[in-house]
């Protein structure tokens, strides 16, 4: 099967998201939490969640790269649902806890990638 360039673009976007998560979010969020005086169990849970999210984002990037060459509608919908869920969480926490959507703009990429994926699906019909 030929490469679906839209899905390949979604994979690249997710790859950039992984890099931003690690190299921007790590020093901004993960490192300060780990250096804090929070309870060690809280820091431990935070570390598991941080690295788990890193793994999940990387797996999504690889899955999207695979989807660029192989049609798999159920996998596409799972990846779309994951990202829309992440977007919803960032929007909800931003609005409900921070009163502002802009301190955590990650919802933009988590809506943008599924939009590109939906464009890719249209190209596969």
pLDDT of residue 124: 66
pLDDT of residue 51: 98
The phi and psi torsions of 88 (rounded to 5 degrees) equal -60, -40
pTM of the predicted model over 0.85: yes
pLDDT at 8 over 70: yes
Q: Domain segments of the chain: what residues?
A: 5-123
**Segment 87-119, tens digit of pLDDT:** 999 999 999 999 999 999 999 999 999 999 999
- Mean pLDDT confidence for 8-17: 98
**Segment 36-77, tens digit of pLDDT:** 999 999 999 999 999 999 999 999 999 999 999 999 999 999
Q: What share of the chain is helix, strand, coil (3-state, %, to 5)?
A: 80, 0, 20
pLDDT at 123 over 80: no
Q: Which residues contact 87 (CB under 8 A, 6 or more apart)?
A: 106, 107, 110, 111
Q: How far is CA 58 from CA 11, 16, 23, in A?
A: 10, 10, 14
What the block records as the tokens of 83 is: 């990202």
């Amino acid at each position: 099967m030929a490469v679906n360039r839209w899905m390949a673009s979604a994979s690249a976007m997710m790859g950039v998201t992984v890099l931003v998560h690690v190299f921007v979010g790590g020093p901004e969020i993960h490192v300060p939490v780990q250096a804090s005086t929070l309870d060690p169990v809280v820091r431990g849970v935070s570390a598991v969640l941080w690295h788990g999210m890193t793994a999940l984002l990387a797996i999504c990037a690889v899955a999207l790269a695979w989807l660029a060459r192989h049609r798999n509608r159920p996998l596409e919908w799972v990846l779309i649902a994951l990202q829309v869920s992440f977007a919803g969480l960032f929007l909800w926490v931003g609005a409900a806890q921070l009163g502002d959507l802009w301190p955590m703009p990650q919802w933009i990429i988590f809506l943008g990638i599924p939009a590109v994926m939906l464009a890719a699906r249209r190209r596969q019909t």
